[in-house]
Amino acid sequence: MKKTLTALTLSLGLILPFSTFAKNNVVVVATGGTIAGAGASSTNSATYTAAKVPVDDLLNAVPQIQNLANVTGVQALQVASESITDKELLAIARKVNELVKKPEVNGVVITHGTDTLEETAYFLSLTVHTDKPIVVVGSMRPPSALSADGPLNLYSAVALAAADDAKGKGVFVLMNDDIFAARDVTKTINIHTNAFSSQWGSLVEGKPYLFRNVAKRFNNASEFNIENIKGDTLPLVQIVYGSGNMLPDAYTAYTAYAKAGAKAIIHAGTGNGSVAKNIVPTLTELQKQGVQIIRSSRVPQGFVLRNAEQPDDKYNWVVAHDLNPQKAKLLAALALTKTKDAKDAKEMQRIFWEY
């Protein structure tokens, strides 16, 4: 329980160290990535091996975090995030869920590779029911590099996870002094420390400044719950990237794949998630096999407008609205854990409107 210095001074007649009583408890769940990477020399800022440094070393490298909160670490995984499958994703969500259910834990930080960091953050916002701050953090340079960005990112992530202001606002991504909402953030630069973008808030000198709320359902308001998801796989959903001069062969390959269980395809189309004329018959064929077609866009900004350019009502397609293809993939997979009839495009669309 938090107590104020004033209250202690009055009741005990002496001053006890503020830090002992006023700090929140934050657990850092380490999963690997560059923030735990190691390079051959200090000038190797981009050439290194991810997922090497154990969680205790990460915490000990930033002793200042103990002034912000009582910080402990858990090594959940030690992987590069491009290798995260449903198994690891579900394991991370279960570990975070287990921690936020503990009364003594006030906030959780997840250290993560930046490649799929936005996907894990969004998944946590959909499946973990809590109002405690959850902060996913990474770095673009390994700890061994000159001007490594991981230590300050970790410091700021702990500050955010420990902040009472951050309660009830969903899952955050913290990178490079910026606070992002899990649903909105995406990696937009693959080589610089300002790798992520969206506009949501800032973390300066250990203090969060939040400017926006999320308009969609998340965490406690989510109909999905990690506690109701069994096993270590999600329903299979795959992405096909759109371009000019497209052949239907990739979709045909997924038709074969569909026999192994794929229930939805995210079409990362050109422009407004457009579908080339010659592709439509293949998508219709996939739908007959029970595969949902969800239109998203390869364009990073804007959103896919339903029935604009493409007759979604006629074809019974779903639009992903402003979710990028990789986040649409996760939402579709979660929707399919609930929506038994994979042909129920209306129910799938309802979910895409709401999350």
153-212: contacts with ligand GLU (CB under 6 A): none
What's the sign of the alpha-carbon dihedral 34, 40, 46, 49? negative
Q: Is 82 in the site for ligand GLU (CB under 6 A)?
A: yes
Residue 34 or 349: the one with the smaller Cβ distance to ligand GLU is 34
Among 80, 159, 319, 335, binds ligand GLU (CB under 6 A): 80
- The per-type count for the chain, helices as H runs and strands as E runs, is 12, 14
Residue 109: name the closest of 191, 239, 235, 203 by CA.
203
Check if the beta carbon of residue 146 is closer than 8 Å to that of residue 45.
yes
Contact stretch for ligand GLU (CB under 6 A) within 11-19, 80-88, 262-270, 283-291: 80-88
Residue 25 or 139: the one with the smaller Cβ distance to ligand GLU is 139
Q: Is 142 in the site for ligand GLU (CB under 6 A)?
A: no
Among 8, 33, 155, 310, binds ligand GLU (CB under 6 A): 33
Contact stretch for ligand GLU (CB under 6 A) within 22-30, 76-84, 157-165, 210-218: 76-84
Q: Is 115 in the site for ligand GLU (CB under 6 A)?
A: yes
Q: Is 34 in the site for ligand GLU (CB under 6 A)?
A: yes
Residue 114 or 130: the one with the smaller Cβ distance to ligand GLU is 114
Residue 33 or 235: the one with the smaller Cβ distance to ligand GLU is 33
* Integer Cα distance of 141 and 17 in angstroms: 36
Instruction: Name the closest residue to ligand GLU (Cβ).
Output: 113
* Integer Cα distance of 193 and 300 in angstroms: 19
Pair of tokens at residue 259: 């026999």
Contact stretch for ligand GLU (CB under 6 A) within 87-95, 96-104, 108-116, 267-275: 108-116
- How far, in Å, are 26, 39, 105, 119, 290 from residue 100 at the CA level? 10, 34, 6, 20, 37
Indicate the angle between helix axes 345-354 and 325-338, nearest 10 degrees: 120
Residue 49 or 274: the one with the smaller Cβ distance to ligand GLU is 49
* Integer Cα distance of 126 and 219 in angstroms: 6
Instruction: Select which of 34, 111, 116, 130 is catalytic.
Output: 34
Check if the beta carbon of residue 59 is closer than 8 Å to that of residue 104.
no
The Cβ-side half-sphere exposure at 286, using a 13 Å CA radius, reads 32
Q: Is 270 a catalytic residue?
A: no
Residue 33 or 107: the one with the smaller Cβ distance to ligand GLU is 33
Contact stretch for ligand GLU (CB under 6 A) within 79-87, 125-133, 294-302, 327-335: 79-87
CB atoms closer than 10 angstroms to residue 40: 10
Binding mask 52-71 for ligand GLU (x = CB under 6 A): --------------------
- Total number of residues that touch ligand GLU (CB under 6 A): 12
Contact stretch for ligand GLU (CB under 6 A) within 6-14, 32-40, 143-151, 287-295: 32-40
* Integer Cα distance of 126 and 224 in angstroms: 6
Check if the beta carbon of residue 148 is closer than 8 Å to that of residue 164.
no
Under the rule (CB under 6 A), what is the footprint of ligand GLU? 32-34, 50, 80-82, 113-115, 138, 140
Active site residues: 34
